[in-house]
Amino acid sequence: MRAFRCLLLAIFTLAGALPAAARVESFPAGFRIQKIKTDGATIYVRVGGKGPAVVLLHGFGDTGDMWAPAAKALYKDHTVIVPDLRGMGLSSQPKSGYDKKTQGQEIAKVMDALKIEKADLVTHDIGNMVGYALAAQYPARITKWIIIDAPLPGIGPWDEILKSPLLWHFNFRGPDVDRLVKGRERIYLDRFYNELSANPKTIDEATRRHYARLYARPGNMHYAFEQFATFNTKDRADNQAFQAKGKLAMPILALGADHSFGETQAAVMREVGSNVEGGIVKDSGHWIMEEQPAQTVKLIKAFLDKK
């Protein structure tokens, strides 16, 4: 019996030393789903809570589901709005409109439909790019912005960033990409989770299956590729035109993961914002909400709560 207890103690001690595996969480009870029609798309939106509004935008490899831990921390004193970007998750799949200027206008229309005049903004990955287009076109409607771990096309060291071998997927296009990935969505996504994380074990099997199922929905991977296809054909020029009009004035927290974009995130944002605070998500790669959800949520809430 004593030997058995020692074995159990050893197992629990080892388990405590291992990184905590992320899982896809549910949104709090009381959140509702709205399908909001915009120009040419129907956007799947999770809405809940009460108080000042905050909009959370996801990127590739995730959907709005990634933000459930943040929603749990915010909904008691914020109205939390979590869309799936067009062509991704459970939103519709229009054939065009994947440039970020159009999608920024689309998120403004989502806010209009919900009768939200102003909101804080939290973004990650491609959500950063949509977020910049939203904030640049409607600066009076964004009160604070937390931008996490991804560049902006055409801004700052963009051309150098493009040279990174880890970012070959930015140019993964052509007539055969759909056939190459069809039926292999899990393999394709695993590459991102494994190579762009600090520790792949923090992204558990259930999370990987969840997103693989969503990206395997007919059309979803194709339109995810379309998000990347506009980086240098439209988004770069649009962003440089936004930048030429002047810097954003709202308070911005630029968070980079220490095993990913790091301090470069703040450097990029100082190119387009006049009130930028930098920060680091420690012991994390790119997948901040899967790798370090508690730390990331703490940073988000502290900045939004700051007067």
Domains identified in the chain and CATH numbers: 23-305 (3.40.50.1820)
Whole-prediction pTM: 0.92
Amino acid identity of 287? W
Q: What are phi and psi of 129, to 5 degrees?
A: -70, -40
Q: Assess whether pLDDT exceeds 60 at residue 18.
A: no
Q: Is the pLDDT of residue 140 over 70?
A: yes
pLDDT at 8 over 50: no
pLDDT at 243 over 70: yes
pLDDT digits (tens, 9 = 90+) for 64-85: 999 999 999 999 999 999 999 9
CA 295: distance to chain centroid? 16
pLDDT number for residue 173: 87
Q: Beta partners for 120?
A: 54
pLDDT at 192: 98
pLDDT for the residue numbered 6: 37
